[in-house]
Structure 1
């Protein structure tokens, strides 16, 4: 992901297909310009190609694979970080034109970009080569793009992302707590307490938004952190398992293989080879 001179706008580029790569998505909007990508989110699998877009409204662990990319025709995606203040301003202005009672609460949603969204994204990107206009025009184009999304099919999600007391915000609090305490034993009662919800209500809303239970989410964070430690050669397999909270090496190996498709040693060896090739 390469940051641009335009605030909150980044460009992701890949010149070749990749293996399954884990990552943590922050609230973001992405428009695929070329190439094709596959993403694994919870138990769901989705593919995105040119003209497709996706919206992430909470921090989510995902696994991605670039399916189609080459030097001549790379995978390219324009990504805009969601800014809470900007979303709140759009919500005030656009709510009368959007039905926020319809739509999904899911924290990752995909669709085909409308002509209006593509045009706004294109004009925003053109400012990279016209930096003297960024201060004035970039906020306007960003607001237009978010407005087009808001009055389209994603008004409910963007409205929830702009409100401090929404269910999305409460689940976001739970997610932040899990990231801070991922290496400790999962405690449903404590997590419910910090979100000010009952355990059953928290579990229901958490699954609706993340497509995972809080415990499954914590496992994803643990395993992705373990993979990072192993790929960086900071520790060995058993050390990585203990570092992220596993007391049983066999359980760590089993769950790692289930998520990444190979045992830790073989998987991270392949990951390092991939990184060396790209370098």
Structure 2
């Protein structure tokens, strides 16, 4: 049986769901005028989709969503919040939605530097052992965070105030998350000197330089670890090896280029760092289940 506080959060989420439903009336994903805030709507169940979740918070406001991180399957529903503490490849899909009650969700990503500065200003520090770190956590939704998110979405109706007020509300949300149930995991990544912080910096570098050849020894040295220790900590944080992480970034970027910018398969593979078209097609098929052209055709006619 859900706790009284969580039951209240579920009820309160209906207001935010209604507000999001008014902004996003058709199926799709919407990047709003507020930096980092995106809204999502689906009227039917979706196939598992490979994507990258960045540092931030996600809410399911109506319906239900499933996220696979490494080998772990997690679900989150209205009344819960999902926080990602480091850029993380995941597989996600909507598992509860209908035409009368569509899935409604939202995500708000944060700038890592801003989170670090706020934690330093509040004099917050690491509170957990490295082995207890989890890059993605699902917790009961904090009422204060929900209230702030409602005010953030309401701000979309006052575009002239977004540039001045939205950063203040985002800072409030970060402060509440750092002080709440998600706080220890977020603090662990940004705490100077922790292994997870070194891995987070390596992840950030890979996200910007995934087209380059991966030199494991150099990456490990930058993280002040031996190659074997680096691989161990990297897998603990992201659920995969550095090479697998790089492949995910390359292949997901190539998929986006083909789907959104009509880049052909051979060009897309070269643009993300593949020297061999056959290797690109083989690894693409292994990740997405079909060769590039067939996968993109299916995606366009879903």
TM-score range, shorter chain: 0.7 to 0.9
- After superposing the two structures, state which structure 1 stretch, 198-207 or 38-47, moved more: 38-47
Corresponding residue for residue 7 of structure 2: none
Q: 1:256 to 1:43 in 2, by over 3 A?
A: farther
- The whole-number CA distance in structure 2 between the counterparts of 1:62 and 1:86 is 22
- Deviation sequence 1:139-162 (CA, Å, 0-9, x none): 554444333322332222222344
- Deviation sequence 1:200-232 (CA, Å, 0-9, x none): 222122112111110110111122123234434
Does 2:215 correspond to 1:187?
yes
- The whole-number CA distance in structure 1 between the counterparts of 2:223 and 2:212 is 18
- 1:269 Cα offset (Å): 1.3
- After superposing the two structures, state which structure 1 stretch, 46-55 or 239-248, moved more: 239-248
Does 2:61 correspond to 1:33?
yes
What is the TM-score when the length of structure 1 is the normalising length? Answer: 0.79
- After superposing the two structures, state which structure 1 stretch, 250-259 or 214-223, moved more: 250-259
Q: 1:19 to 1:136 in 2, by over 3 A?
A: same
Residues 197-208 of structure 1 aligned to structure 2 (within 5 Å): 197-208=225-236
Residues 133-144 of structure 1 aligned to structure 2 (within 5 Å): 138=166, 141-144=169-172
Aligned length: 271
Corresponding residue for residue 277 of structure 1: none
Do the aligned partners of 2:139 and 2:182 also contact (CA within 8 Å) in 1? no
- The whole-number CA distance in structure 2 between the counterparts of 1:82 and 1:239 is 32
Corresponding residue for residue 75 of structure 1: 103
Residue 217 of structure 2 aligns to a residue whose secondary structure is helix
- 1:234 Cα offset (Å): 1.4
Residues 111-260 of structure 1 aligned to structure 2 (within 5 Å): 111-129=139-157, 138=166, 141-163=169-191, 165-231=193-259, 232-236=261-265, 238-246=266-274, 251-260=279-288
- The whole-number CA distance in structure 2 between the counterparts of 1:252 and 1:9 is 33
Equivalent residue in structure 1 for 2:299, among 262, 271, 276: 271
Do the aligned partners of 1:177 and 1:191 also contact (CA within 8 Å) in 2? no
- The whole-number CA distance in structure 2 between the counterparts of 1:181 and 1:133 is 36
- The whole-number CA distance in structure 2 between the counterparts of 1:94 and 1:228 is 40
Name structure 1 gaps, 5 residues minimum. Answer: 275-279
Residue 184 of structure 2 aligns to a residue whose secondary structure is helix
Name structure 2 gaps, 5 residues minimum. Answer: 1-28
Does 2:128 correspond to 1:101?
yes
- The whole-number CA distance in structure 1 between the counterparts of 2:218 and 2:210 is 13
- After superposing the two structures, state which structure 1 stretch, 196-205 or 68-77, moved more: 68-77
Equivalent residue in structure 2 for 1:89, among 112, 115, 118: 118
- The whole-number CA distance in structure 2 between the counterparts of 1:211 and 1:155 is 21
- Deviation sequence 1:226-258 (CA, Å, 0-9, x none): 32344344123x554455444565554443233
- Deviation sequence 1:78-98 (CA, Å, 0-9, x none): 3222233255324543739xx
